[in-house]
Amino acid sequence: MRFLIVRTDVRAAADTDIAAAWAGGGRLRDETARPESRRQVVHAEDRDAALLLARALASVGAVRAGRQRVKVLPLDEPQPAWPTWPDDRGG
């Protein structure tokens, strides 16, 4: 399965926005409606490589200071652990 590793800026949230999201039961940040701006994008072919790259990107000073974040996103559907067989084996 392929992965996308993204380093993004963290949007600042005002106290009033936090209180409104908390009181209304909504989300403070909705990535589908308003995604954070991207700083760096890297592709990986498997999960181990993706986590290794994410760990490397997390060592950047802005990530460690909390101004940016690293996200690991799957791009493909996961492969089944066992092949699926047609149910015509007579059992």
So where are the chain's domains? 3-74
pLDDT by residue (tens digit) across 19-30? 888 888 877 777
Q: Which residue has the higher pLDDT, 63 or 79?
A: 63
pLDDT by residue (tens digit) across 14-68? 888 888 888 888 777 777 777 888 999 999 999 999 999 999 999 999 999 999 9
pLDDT at 77: 72
- Among 3, 9, 6, which residue's Cα sits nearest to residue 63? 9
pLDDT at 46: 93
**24: CB partners within 8 A, 6+ apart:** none
